[in-house]
Structure 1
Amino acid sequence: MDVLGIDEIIYGADDLPKCRQFFLDWGMVLAQQSAAELVFESQNGCRVIVRDSGDPSLPPAIEAGPTLREVVWGVSSDAVLDKFAGRIKQLQGYINDGKRVGCTDPNGLAVRFQVSVKRDVQVQCARMNTWNEKNRINERSPVYERAAPIEVGHVVFFVKDVKACEKFYCENFGFVPSDRYPERGAFLRCADVGGHHDIFLLQPPEARSGLNHVAFTVRDIHEVFGGGMHMSRSGWDTQLGPGRHPISSAYFWYFKNPAGGLIEYYADEDQLDEHWEPRDFEPGPTVFAEWAIDGGIDGNTRRQKNAQGPSGKFLTDRAPAGK
């Protein structure tokens, strides 16, 4: 396997103090900070870097305002870096500094590759009981007060030419199509064996470049809920969720991100191998979400936003008449 997933993402943002608090609430560990840069790490060492939008070291932005400036993919060896360098050295924005090779993708995004620095981690996850398999005996499922993301699992971009972008990632770096919206969207994974998608490329009707969202893998559905409700209690705005994607089977919760675009907790995506046959889907609300809560859940009442919480210790309690 050549590409192992995302190693690092770099944002250009306008309000670093707000971004600092956001990513701390999100569950990231602050590894380094200065007046011009914040460096966060997930459980397995995947890094999220936030720099001031005016930092001249940042690659050009693909859209106005705070957004993602660079995606760094981890590879398995130096030999893979050398192979990729030979393939892309004639492409726009080519760089090779001895540790990273990269170029600019057809959407204008800076794409880099390095030998992966992520570490293997073992986390305790919920076991699910189904009709056929009773995996949890004399044991309650966990309840999480907040999330601790394991890694950056995937990125999603609006693109001007979905076919050109799909060809770029598949022919140069060995990405594999998982599913498609014909002429409109491509779900790609890094290799035959892996999660449903590591990058999703979506060509909207106006065919523009931009960041849709960055998604963080958490251990199970319960952590999607626990992380989302902690973000809600902390005052951050839900865009949509919790909910479930029919295409990848993943549970999700999206929030608005001050560093740019949206940000997602997700868990329980489909795992694919070389026998998977890509499918075509017609875009639509029920294709995007089997179910979803608009506006999220209030982390204090544990009910949908603006819904009244229970007034007693039991749901059957009723306030006395006239109270």
Structure 2
Amino acid sequence: MPASPAGQLRSIAIGVTDLDAAERFYNDTWRLETVAKTEDAVYLRGAGPFHHILALHRSVRPDVRHVTFSVATRADLDAIAARTPAAGGRLLSEPAAVDEPGGGTAVTIADPQGRILRFVHGDERHDARSHADAPSRITHVVFNSADVAAAQRFYEEALGFRLSDRTKIMAFMRCNSDHHSIALADSNADTLNHIAFVMPDLDAVMRGAGRMRDAGWPIEWGVGRHGPGNNVFAYFVGPDDFVIEYTADVLQVDDAYKVGGPSDWQWPPGRFDQWGVSQPPSERIKQAQKTIRFIEQ
């Protein structure tokens, strides 16, 4: 596929109401590692090379501050800045130095529905580390959208995303070889649906699910295997009711991939994944998937 200027999903910054407790959870149970701290923020890395993949910010209510992508060149930043207004988004900041751990140069935009996206080049990297039970990176985020068609057009026109699959309820969008980095879910509100962290393999997902249950965090959906993306999944409702997913085996695609439609992704009655073993999503997760909003800017 033609290169998207968006590059690769790097990190998400979220507001949490108990910063110390959230850090303990993401360190001890979710298996991320703190790499930097300020008075009001904690930055956590995975096993991959990105400086951090999750930033926790002290907040009076849960929220999403921004989603960050790592781009290949400075020219990609300029292209995004130029294309965003014409596609219906807002340019919040021209390319400028990033004033937080990890550094780099970034452009910040808001999509037509108010989600804040940041694109960074030249940020710090770590040597990747081998860890059988730690997420390496965030593989996708899912946004609820009151107008999926409008959001899809923006991601295509401004950021070079392409549609991988469209189910009855969701559009799966890619900007590299991952089947999707963003998915847009039909909804009545523009909120965060969930964050997916990729694990080394199925066994790591299963061990992670067991570790979560041992720590008092029940599986809210899964374990199973999705249709679009073919990825294994286990979903949880974490601190402040953020919905988080352990996943593995994310499908890699290229230009030869045939875009699927709703008729291609239907399960028999009573089935909620490819395998037919997963229970349906819990009522708790269905409510949590609707509530977390982006900050306004």
Equivalent position of 1:74 in the other structure: 70
Is residue 94 of structure 2 the alignment partner of residue 96 of structure 1?
Answer: yes
Q: Indicate if the aligned counterparts of 2:83 and 2:157 stay in contact, CA closer than 8 A.
A: no
2: distance between equivalents of 1:226 and 1:84?
Answer: 40
Amino acid at match of 2:182: I
Equivalent position of 1:189 in the other structure: 174
Q: Which residue, out of 209, 215, 230, partners 1:228?
A: 209
Amino acid at match of 1:71: V
Q: Indicate if the aligned counterparts of 1:241 and 1:252 stay in contact, CA closer than 8 A.
A: yes
Q: After superposition, give the CA deviation of every residue in 1:102-151 in whole Å (9 maximum; x if it has no partner).
A: 21112211011111645574758xxxxxxxxxxxxxxxxxxx6xx21100
What is the DSSP-based 3-state SS (H/G/I as helix, E as strand, rest coil) of the residue aligned with 1:3? coil
2: distance between equivalents of 1:16 and 1:294?
Answer: 32
Q: Shift of residue 47 of structure 1?
A: 2.3
Change (3 A) 1:260 1:284: farther
What is the correspondence of 1:60-209 to structure 2 with a 5 Å cutoff?
A: 65-89=61-85, 91-98=89-96, 99-115=105-121, 117=123, 118=125, 121=128, 123=130, 147-181=133-167, 184-191=169-176, 194-204=177-187, 207-209=188-190
Q: Shift of residue 51 of structure 1?
A: 0.6
Q: Which residue, out of 261, 267, 276, partners 1:280?
A: 261
More displaced 10-residue stretch of structure 1: 91-100 or 4-13: 91-100
Q: Shift of residue 190 of structure 1?
A: 0.7
Q: TM-score, normalised by structure 2?
A: 0.80
Equivalent position of 2:284 in the other structure: none
What is the DSSP-based 3-state SS (H/G/I as helix, E as strand, rest coil) of the residue aligned with 1:266? strand
What is the DSSP-based 3-state SS (H/G/I as helix, E as strand, rest coil) of the residue aligned with 2:65? strand
Q: Shift of residue 160 of structure 1?
A: 1.0
Q: After superposition, give the CA deviation of every residue in 1:56-82 in whole Å (9 maximum; x if it has no partner).
A: xxxxxxxxx513221011110101111
Change (3 A) 1:233 1:285: farther
1: distance between equivalents of 2:256 and 2:129?
Answer: 28
Q: Indicate if the aligned counterparts of 1:179 and 1:279 stay in contact, CA closer than 8 A.
A: yes
1: distance between equivalents of 2:34 and 2:267?
Answer: 36
In structure 2, list runs of 5 or more residues that go unmatched.
Answer: 97-104, 282-297
What is the correspondence of 1:205-220 to structure 2 with a 5 Å cutoff?
A: 207-220=188-201
1: distance between equivalents of 2:32 and 2:111?
Answer: 28
Change (3 A) 1:97 1:78: closer
In structure 1, list runs of 5 or more residues that go unmatched.
Answer: 55-64, 125-143, 297-323
Equivalent position of 1:314 in the other structure: none
Counting aligned pairs with the same residue, the percent is: 29
Q: Quick check: which has more Rg, 1 or 2?
A: 1
Amino acid at match of 1:18: A
Q: After superposition, give the CA deviation of every residue in 1:253-301 in whole Å (9 maximum; x if it has no partner).
A: 11112144310111112111011121112576768522344499xxxxx
Is residue 244 of structure 2 the alignment partner of residue 263 of structure 1?
Answer: yes
What is the DSSP-based 3-state SS (H/G/I as helix, E as strand, rest coil) of the residue aligned with 1:278? coil
Q: TM-score, normalised by structure 1?
A: 0.74
